[in-house]
Structure 1
Amino acid sequence: MKSSRLILLTTTVIAAAVMELIDTSIVNVALSHMSGNLGSTLEDTAWVITSYAIANVIVIPLTGFLAALLGRRRYFIGSVALFTLASLACGLSTNIWELVAFRFIQGIGGGALLSTSQVIVFEAFPVNKRSVASAIFGIGVFTGPTIGPTLGGYILDITTWNWIFLVNIPIGLAVLIGAIFLVEDPKQSQSVTHIDYLGLLLLIIGVGSLQILLERGDQEDWFETVYIRYLALTAGLGILGFIWWELRIDKPIVNLRVLRSPTLAVASLLTFVTGVGLFSSVFLTPVFAQRLLGFPALDTGLLLLPGALIAILALIMTARLLQAGVPTQVIIMAGFALFITFSWKMGHLGPDAGKSDFYVPLIFRGVGLALLTVPLTALAVSGLRPDEIPQGAAFNNMMRQLGGSFGISGVNTFLANRMAEHRTDLVTNLTLNDLETVQWVGAVSRRFVAQGSTELNGLQQSYQLLDQSVNRQAAVLSYLDAYMAVGLLFVAAMPLILLVFRAGAKSNAPVVLSDH
């Protein structure tokens, strides 16, 4: 393939993947605006996020099957068109349930873009350049979720929430035109003569129920709510039934037999952990900076910028290290170590932290995740036959998305529990027998009286201010604990990296996709 055509093709499909990944997080900052504008409760508005995530996580493992059924070129172009039209419909929605429905359709279109884009880029490059292909694709995987909330906040600063969706229209049209002229079907394509309807049904029930459980569990107090318990039972039975059925039949809708590849199995586990780190840190950092430290949305976005730019350079560097023959497990170990360092540094910030305190930890985060993205993407498909690569890539991407869902859900629950514990600990030290507390309440109360309040109102206002201070301090401590908890997960997962040695040894193909 000519270099100019390769550049255009790569740019086109990476833009599609980035567009899809941005939409996984761009809505997060707009929920209150949508709620007020559409006259819905915040709880109902949260389904805008949930519906997209459900559609995504169902479609991603099906991409290999659907590409074979419809033809990869037709499937990719159709998915871009569906995503773009659904984005337009989302932006023009006039009530919340209309928006939720179109958001689900957008998720169906978007679910295909990630894995299909990865396979197209992967196959477009020669074998000795596939680590470079993984790095280029990794730029999209890393930057998409990272810039989503920042872009959403910027859009809300200058216009209405509708443009969070409408901004996809020009990008989607450009990608669609590029795909029509540049994307081709693979030379050796599979044909589908049988559709596994039962497998499809079990996948929708099992994975769909699990995603709803993860998205809504924290808000519904988990298993204290009846329908959450039913969802847990349905998810468990659906997924177990799906695995049993797919391993039993000759032509499954999702070929789980690719997990016999030790490289894919190990890479998927590590990718799940990486997904937890990627999405939970994207969730924690903007909220911590804006809500607790009072940073404006633009300043919060600028906090993430240096780390994101350096991460792009790190992705390119990682590809060159792989081509130079540096062992995959060494790069993965370095990525884990850097992300753990990020978690440790963030876990030791204080309530008076300034912008400069964030830059170095976020650079560690960016470089750490960059060092993980390329080797894990390459490792996932390195032991697969060419006809198995689409299924392997889709499964690995699904594990990243599920890791993100588990991560955000787990972090939310962790924050709520730690908030209650820290508040209890702080309140126990605030008694009428504590001289410092009594003096503080008296001084603040007198200040309110001096401003025109009665003595009773001044006392009440001082207690309210004390309560707010306790809540803020408890929240800050909870977020610091959450950073440390995510870091500990990475520490616990590090022994998995030792399996990369064995996986690489048992694989039929080299772990590093290069000539070295």
Structure 2
Amino acid sequence: MSSLAPTTPPPLTGTRLLLGSFAVALATFMNVLDSSIANVAIPTISGNLGVSVDEGTWVITLFAAANAVSIPLTGWLTQRIGQVRLFVGALLLFVLSSWLCGIAPNLTTLLAARILQGAVAGPLIPLSQALLLGSFPKEKSSSALALWAMTATVGPIAGPALGGWITDSYSWSWIFYINVPVGLFAAAVTWAVYRERESKTRKLPIDLVGLASLITWVGALQIMLDKGKDLDWFNSPVIVTLGVVALLGFVFFVIWELTEPNPIIDLRLFKGRNFLAGTIAISVGYAVFFANLVVLPQWLQQNLAYPAVNAGLVTAPLGIFAVILAPIVGKFLPKAELRVLATLSFLGFAAVFFMRSHYTTGVDTYAIVLPTLLQGIPMALFFVPLTAIILSGLSPDKIPAAAGLSNFARVFCGAVGTSLATTAWNDRTILHHSQLAEQTGPNNPTYVAALDSIQRTLNFSPDQAVAFFERSLNSQAVMLGLNDIFWISSVIFVVIIPLIWFTRPARNAAGAGAASGAH
């Protein structure tokens, strides 16, 4: 296919810039929102479709697996189809799959629609970065990244609260139906603004072996991570089998892609120092951040009896500073040392998680909300500088592939981090419960006195007092286990700071990719 744009189009201006940026940002928001909006609705969906909650969680698992496979294919698909056609086509298919999710009469149909939805959602995030970078003048490319970061940040935060409200107030189907008008509007505006700014395309042979191996190892690993805790990890033959398939598939995939003349994913991008270190830093950081974004509402609902909507609202203040500061960071970025900003972000995250590591079972809402509110500050400094570092020094034709591969690593590490955090939380809870239980018994005067106090204060029988004490002990063990997760998270953010300084200076690094949007 011949190029539709022999030269790089000039940046957008005026109304076209405003509309184009809004449409692309809206598509990004819809995509990242959908990755978390279904989480709180799983019990309702399962009940309505007559399946167990464990079966219902496949709604999340299969979306994540399909999404993880398709994200790194963005670069290859872009070269064959073109950025604009791929973005708009993926958006329209996302709308169709959302509608199919909403009307699904049974779990099988819903899962098939979620697989399609996850697959077509993959290219939207990296292409939104590329389109926004191409919309702005080179010197304002950091503002484009700031706009992208703002929408990508708010989505996962708003998802649980919005999903809970829609499910409670209307029907779970509407968490999918709302994508239809939003997606159609975003697709129409994007096509109107960008259709004459299509990127160069060329016919490439399809690397079927690479594609098959990618689907195999990513799918196996994603399902293993999502189902590992439920199946007791490597005590389950299913998990062992999935682990072996994922490992062998990954090794084969890497060897094949590095020796294939036209690989479906360009792993040679990792030869770049900034791409390698920047991708690892943003992926590990996002894994820790996202894992905590999952376990905190889970603890609030299961142990502090917060309703789903309230648990979502308590985490919502994270978006306040993130949204307010994002455009400020965008304007400040061209004059800043990106590595300093990223370091401040990591130190901010470490401080927030350290604050949370001192929670007690009697923690009030203020103590929960304050660190969440403050976390918005490092959040605003997280995506933009690191993304700019990752894309710095790359030729325009490499940007979609680089954005796709780095986003794949980030999203995939988010899934790994969540799985590791929930498993570690469970293990630490068991350990703390065992240690606390050792202090109980008739030979411990403190324990005997506590039971006597419970019986007198609450007018309980001896058996009721023991049951009450056991519940309190369980709650304390869960709290101590979660505090361990918060503390470890704080340490990880400090430990990975040297990765940032392994990169080369990239002042206004986003400028390197500024022309990438419609190259």
TM-score bracket for the superposition, by shorter chain length: over 0.9
Partner of 1:25, secondary structure, is: helix
CA 1:2–1:498 in 2, change beyond 3 Å: closer, same or farther? closer
Match of 1:23, SS state, is helix
Verify the 8 A CA contact 1:134 1:374 in the aligned structure 2: yes
Aligned to 1:465: 468
Aligned-partner SS, 1:68:
helix
Counterpart for residue 29 of structure 1: 40
1:32-431 matches, within 5 Å, as 32-184=43-195, 186=197, 188-323=199-334, 325-431=335-441
When normalised by structure 2's length, the TM-score is 0.92
- Does the 8 Å CA contact 1:263/1:511 hold for their aligned counterparts? no
AA matched with 2:190? A
| Correspondence for 2:451 among 441, 462, 483 | 441
Q: Is 1:513 aligned to residue 511 of structure 2? A: yes
1:510 to partner: Cα distance:
6.2
| Matched AA of 1:222 | W
2:217 maps to amino acid: G
**Structure 2: tracts of 5 or more residues without a match:** 1-11, 514-519
Given residue 206 of structure 1, which amino acid in structure 2 is its aligned partner? W
Q: Deviations over 1:219-271 (max 9, x none)?
A: 22211111211211111121221111111122111112222221111111011
CA contact (8 A) 1:64 1:390 kept: yes
| Structure 2 Cα separation of the partners of residues 370 and 318 of structure 1 | 7
For the 8 Å contact 1:258–1:384, the answer to whether it is kept is no
- Stretches of structure 1 that go unaligned for 5 or more consecutive residues are 451-457
Shift of the 185–66 alpha-carbon distance from structure 1 to 2, 3 Å rule, reads farther
Note if contact 2:41-2:164 (Cα within 8 Å) is conserved in structure 1: yes
1:302 Cα deviation after fit: 3.4
| Offset of residue 187 of structure 1 | 5.5
In 1, the alpha carbon distance for the partners of 2:41 and 2:479 equals 23
Q: For residues 136-166 of structure 1, what are the alpha-carbon distances to aligned partners after superposition, in whole Å with 9 as ceiling and x for unaligned? A: 0001221111111111122123122222212
> Judging changes above 3 Å, is the alpha-carbon distance between structure 1 residues 497 and 244 closer, same or farther for their aligned structure 2 residues?
same
For residues 42 and 300 of structure 1, the distance between their equivalents in structure 2, rounded to whole angstroms, comes to 19
CA deviations on 1:292-327 (whole Å, 9 max, x unpaired) are 23334444333333331111122222222212x211
Paired residue type of 1:337: L
Q: Which residue identity is paired with 1:461?
A: Q
Deviations 1:392-431, CA, capped at 9 Å, x for gaps: 0001111110121111001111011011001111111111
The equivalent residue for 1:453 is: none
- Of 258-267 and 326-335, more deviation after overlay is shown by 258-267
Question: How many aligned positions are there?
Answer: 503
Instruction: Work out the CA distance in 2 between the residues paired with 1:75 and 1:514.
Output: 23
SS of the equivalent of 2:442 reads coil
Post-superposition offset of 1:446: 6.4
**SS of equivalent to 2:511:** coil
1:449-477 per-residue CA deviation (whole Å, 9 max, x = no partner) reads 77xxxxxxx43333222221111111111
Q: Equivalents in 2 of 1:327, 1:193: separation in Å?
A: 39
Deviations 1:24-67 (A, max 9, x none): 11111112112222111121111111000001000000011112
Bigger Cα displacement from structure 2, 363-372 vs 178-187? 178-187
CA deviations over 1:279-298 (Å, ceiling 9, x no partner): 11211221233332333444
Q: Which residue of 2 aligns with 1:490?
A: 493
Match of 2:517 in 1: none
Preserved CA contact (<8 Å) 1:80 1:109:
yes
- Across the aligned residues of Structure 1 and Structure 2, the Cα RMSD in angstroms comes to 2.1
The answer (yes or no) to whether the contact 2:29–2:151 under 8 Å persists in 1 is yes
Shift in CA distance, 510/168, structure 1 to aligned 2, threshold 3 Å: closer
What is the TM-score with the length of structure 1 in the denominator? 0.93
Residues of 1 paired with 2:330 and 2:201: CA distance? 30
Offset at 1:97? Answer: 2.1
Which whole-Å deviations, capped at 9, do the CAs of 1:190-246 have from their partners, x for residues lacking one?
312311111111111122212112111222221111121121111112122111111
1:343: Cα distance to partner? 0.5
1:455 is matched with: none
- Retained in 2: the 8 A contact 1:278–1:369? no
Conserved in 2, the CA contact under 8 Å of 1:422 and 1:477?
yes
| Residue of structure 2 equivalent to 1:504 | 505
Give the secondary-structure state (helix, strand or coil) at the position aligned to 1:183. Answer: helix
Letter in 2 for 1:482: I
Conserved 8 A contact 1:419-1:475:
yes
**Identity percentage of aligned residues:** 32
Alignment check: 8 A CA contact 1:293 1:352 kept: no
Query: Secondary structure of 1:24's match?
Result: helix
> Bigger CA drift: 5-14 or 217-226?
217-226
Amino acid at match of 1:511: A
Q: Tell me: CA distance 1:21–1:296, structure 2 relative to 1, closer, same or farther (3 Å).
A: same
Whole-angstrom CA distance in 2 between matches of 1:318 and 1:312: 10
Pick from 429, 438, 442: which aligns with 1:432? 442
Contact 1:445 1:462 in 2 (8 A): yes
Q: Compare relative contact order (CA 8 Å, sep 6+) and give the higher one, 1 or 2.
A: 2
Aligned AA for 1:513?
G
CA–CA distance in structure 2, aligned partners of residues 282 and 147 of structure 1: 11
